[in-house]
Structure 1
């Protein structure tokens, strides 16, 4: 049996299983990373070491005072579109990358098991990373931990990295941009199109597909109203720009309401969003 260098081979209980290992997860320097992205690899698959090299933010200890922690520890939404969140503890957590639990333990926080006292954190799943032509790196949203954790939170912030270690955290009103995770982020011209969301259980809308525009100069976010044959409440999918004016998505999961229950089903079709009129069409069934 022949395997190419992107496959790993396992034997378990006399059965063979394949784990497709994405090459970009093994990238060890920026030049290789750029070559892989140009060849079509997904930047969102990079490892933590490469992410830090790309953003220019090196790992550092949480170096804030107990007062800074107390003042800035809780998540909050922005008041404007956007608001620059000048919160020292948040900045320290971006640089540190550890869990909210670690931060609580460091400051002896007695609210460690109180779900109403969750702590802001930048150790996340389901966020996206996008590189702009001018070198800036944009990370959007994501969640910390799962619903059963006292610090479970889905975020709606955007972090803009200059690539030299400097960055800004941008907050948004919830009604402008809701908490978003496991979405896609596709750069087209001056905009990043944010498509899909897993989101909180009681905020999912069966049959609808959330789409937002993030302007890459002003960083304002605007909801995009779409029509046509929508993918539904989709997440964990892949998206790519298709000339001359479409974003195509494939794979992922779709949340469907059946009676009073939600089912999380495989997405079986590819869809395309026409950026000239924001109309969805179903392209074809997903390929294996």
Structure 2
């Protein structure tokens, strides 16, 4: 399902003859609110994400990490496939004008991942106990290489998660080691940002700048202290 990229959770149930709207949640890589982080060595790391809506029988929020090696042209190949398809069916309404073509391509490519078409031997999937890494979606994931040790990490900040879950109560920070893919909860100090979705993050030196609804919060990676930037 990872290599296919755009398969929904219903597809494997139909493939294996299971009732699509009765069975509980299962593995699906067509998700909302996950992060995609491309590393300097070309690997791509996907973290968490949500399948379906809360009222669906297969609604699920993941706490896994998926790493894909040596494959990053999935969207370009998906675009080429779509363009070839549209060129062969000019009588379809969707292909009548360039605007509709662009709308269709944007929808298609939004569902395709950069690793669509990857082979199984290029994919690693890591799972974690929920008390180590709670289910998370709509979080941020920021790559950082520590200058003193040379070790590489992805800092996972915030998220939405399940109603009543830990992400709804506080802005949690986890650190993913890119050496062994262990995850560690990082205790932070200072003025933490409020727990919510709809945030962006960027790294500036040894700091992560988190923008939450227009307000900026800065996390020092040397002492794990939050400060709120002056307006």
TM over 0.5: yes
- Correspondence for 2:127: 171
- Correspondence for 2:54: 147
Pair 1:184-2:146 in alignment: no
**Can you list the C-alpha shifts for 1:253-283, whole angstroms capped at 9, x where unaligned?**
xxxxxxxxxxxxxx34110001111111110
More displaced, 212-221 or 96-105?
A: 96-105
Aligned equivalents of 1:280, 1:155: Cα separation in 2: 27
- Correspondence for 1:53: none
Structure 1: runs of 5 or more not aligned: 1-92, 252-266
The answer to whether the Cα contact below 8 Å between 2:156 and 2:176 also exists between their aligned partners in 1 is: yes
Aligned equivalents of 1:195, 1:139: Cα separation in 2: 14
2:215 corresponds, among 255, 260, 269, to 269
Q: Aligned to 1:104, what secondary structure does the other structure show?
A: helix
- 1:60-139 matches, cutoff 5 A: 93-96=1-4, 97-110=6-19, 112-114=20-22, 117-139=24-46
- Correspondence for 1:262: none
Task: Give aligned pairs, total.
Answer: 175
Q: Aligned to 2:222, what secondary structure does the other structure show?
A: coil
The answer to whether the Cα contact below 8 Å between 2:160 and 2:167 also exists between their aligned partners in 1 is: no
Once the two structures are TM-superposed, the CA of residue 119 in structure 1 deviates from its matched residue by: 2.0
Pair 1:249-2:202 in alignment: no
Aligned equivalents of 1:141, 1:167: Cα separation in 2: 15
Structure 2: runs of 5 or more not aligned: 72-117, 146-151
**Can you list the C-alpha shifts for 1:127-156, whole angstroms capped at 9, x where unaligned?**
111111211111111001110111111001
**Can you list the C-alpha shifts for 1:162-194, whole angstroms capped at 9, x where unaligned?**
124311111111111110111000011011000
TM-score (norm 1): 0.58
Pair 1:229-2:138 in alignment: no
Aligned equivalents of 1:126, 1:206: Cα separation in 2: 15
The answer to whether the Cα contact below 8 Å between 1:195 and 1:212 also exists between their aligned partners in 2 is: yes
Aligned equivalents of 1:153, 1:187: Cα separation in 2: 26
Once the two structures are TM-superposed, the CA of residue 206 in structure 1 deviates from its matched residue by: 5.5
Q: Aligned to 2:41, what secondary structure does the other structure show?
A: coil
Q: Which has the higher contact order (CA 8 A, sep 6+)?
A: 2
Once the two structures are TM-superposed, the CA of residue 113 in structure 1 deviates from its matched residue by: 2.7
Once the two structures are TM-superposed, the CA of residue 232 in structure 1 deviates from its matched residue by: 1.8
Aligned equivalents of 1:205, 1:187: Cα separation in 2: 21
TM-score (norm 2): 0.71
Q: Aligned to 1:126, what secondary structure does the other structure show?
A: coil
The answer to whether the Cα contact below 8 Å between 1:206 and 1:232 also exists between their aligned partners in 2 is: no
Aligned-residue RMSD, C-alpha: 1.6
- Correspondence for 2:225: 279
Pair 1:202-2:109 in alignment: no
**Can you list the C-alpha shifts for 1:40-93, whole angstroms capped at 9, x where unaligned?**
xxxxxxxxxxxxxxxxxxxxxxxxxxxxxxxxxxxxxxxxxxxxxxxxxxxxx1
Once the two structures are TM-superposed, the CA of residue 99 in structure 1 deviates from its matched residue by: 0.9
The answer to whether the Cα contact below 8 Å between 2:142 and 2:154 also exists between their aligned partners in 1 is: yes
